[in-house]
Amino acid sequence: MKFTKMHGLGNSYIYVNLFEEVLEEESLRTLAINLSNRNTGIGSDGLILIGPSERADVRMRIFNLDGSEAKNCGNGLRCVAKYSFEHGLVSAEKFCIETLGGIVSVTVHINETRIVETVTVNMGTPVLARNAIPMLGEGKESVVNEEISVGGETAWITAVSMGNPHAVLFVPDVEPAPVATFGKALSTDERFPDGVNVEFVEVLSSTEYRFRVWERGSGMTEACGTGACAAVVAGVLNGHTKQGEPVCVHLPGGDLTITWAVDGTVHMQGPAAYICTGEAHM
Ligand SMILES: N[C@H](CCC[C@H](N)C(=O)O)C(=O)O
């Protein structure tokens, strides 16, 4: 099976082009686990499939390294956009990608040799209703700066869905943040029936955040595009940023520019890069 490994700010996936390869549906979960394994496989944060769509120009499916399928992946969308344009799956610089979480529109920014350097994605509108994150529990319809205790530790979270669920915590300093302890525990907490991606955010200014993440299904990653979007939405809801202000989010793997526009849609701009192509013998 031919594959291409790509990354968005160090959040890497194995990409398979379903216009060329045929994969059995029942094998996808195991394939994601095996290919992602850093010792016995290729090594990545998961598997992403690029295929035909009846509702958009191409379709993206994303599986975390534990085999769980997610409804959206921001870094993945930028890499799918770059791959689709450079491999002639699309011809225009602006096109649409279908995900399980909905259809997003992307614009590739090319250089003089028509190589895609960065991609802008209109991620659509965030979902804030508690029961649509989904998050269990009584209380207000949306979860903004809500106290939660996990394993005896207390924190205040803001829950945002970008098609996939996120719990955002604002902290004074991301360096010592308990990403691999509290973040990991919260990501599988029963109050989130589908699990949750957990973001720790330090607000440097209204237009500059620092960010670390524990991803549902993949653990600590170098970057999370949907998480950076959720962080800025949470930042506006908590009064750190004005809606419409672009925010530079510093992730461990690099920077994304995120804007929660006044029309309600969230826009993400950032890089996408190839690592290698190859043949996997499964
Ligand atoms: N772990 C996520 C999927 C990948 C999201 C992330 N890598 C991104 O760039 O948005 C989830 O289970 O919802």
Burial grade of 1 (CB within 10 A; 0-12, 13-18, 19 or more):
middle
Please state, in angstroms and rounded to a whole number, the distance separating the CA atoms of residues 279 and 282.
9
Q: What pLDDT, on the 0 to 100 scale, is given for residue 139? A: 81
Strand partners, 247: 258
pLDDT value for 56: 98
Residue 104: name the closest of 39, 59, 44 by CA: 59
pTM of the entire structure? 0.97
Q: How many whole angstroms from 29 Cα to the centroid of ligand 1?
A: 16
pLDDT of residue 282: 73
Domains assigned to the chain: 2-124+270-279 (3.10.310.10), 130-264 (3.10.310.10)
- Report which protein residue has its CA nearest ligand 1's atom 4: 73
Ligand 1 pocket test: pick from 121, 166, 197, 199 the residue with the most ligand atoms within 8 Å of its Cβ: 197
**Choice from 79, 226, 249 to test ligand 1 binding pocket (greatest atom count within 8 A of CB):** 226
Q: Which residues are known to be catalytic?
A: 73, 224
Please give the annotated binding residues, written as ranges: 11, 64, 74-75, 164, 197, 215-216, 225-226
pLDDT for the residue 65:
98
Kindly state the average pLDDT of the residues 128-154.
94
Q: Give tens-digit pLDDT for 186-239.
A: 999 999 999 999 999 999 999 999 999 999 999 999 999 999 999 999 999 999
Complete DSSP assignment for the chain: -EEEEEEETTEEEEEEETTT----GGGHHHHHHHHH-TTTS---SEEEEEE--SSSSEEEEEEETTS-EES--HHHHHHHHHHHHHTTS--SSEEEEEETTEEEEEEEEE-TT--EEEEEEE----B-BGGGTT--SSS-SB-SSEEEEETTEEEEEEEEESSSEEEEEE-S-STT--IIIIIHHHHT-TTSTT--EEEEEEEEETTEEEEEEEETTTEE-S--HHHHHHHHHHHHHTTSS-TT-EEEEEETTEEEEEEE-TTS-EEEEEE-EEEEEEE---
| Bridging pattern class, strands 94-99 and 2-8 | unpaired
Instruction: Give the position, in ligand 1's atom list, of the atom nearest the Cα of 166.
Output: 13
Cα 215 to middle of ligand 1, angstroms: 6
How much is the average pLDDT of 233-257? 98
Protein residues whose CB sits closer than 6 Å to any atom of ligand 1 = 11, 62, 64, 70, 73-76, 164, 197, 215-218, 221, 224-227
Q: Does residue 271 have a cis bond before it (omega within 30 degrees)?
A: no
User: For the residues 177-185, what does the mean pLDDT come to?
Assistant: 97
Mean model confidence pLDDT for the chain: 97
The rounded Å distance from CA 70 to ligand 1 centre is: 7
Averaged over 82-93, what is the pLDDT? 97
What type of residue is 19? F
Distance 273 CA to ligand 1 centre (A): 17
**How much is the pLDDT for 157?**
98
Q: Give residue 263's pLDDT band: very low, low, confident or very high (50, 70, 90).
A: very high
Q: Which of the four pLDDT bands, split at 50, 70 and 90, describes residue 93? A: very high
- pLDDT at 196 (0 to 100): 98
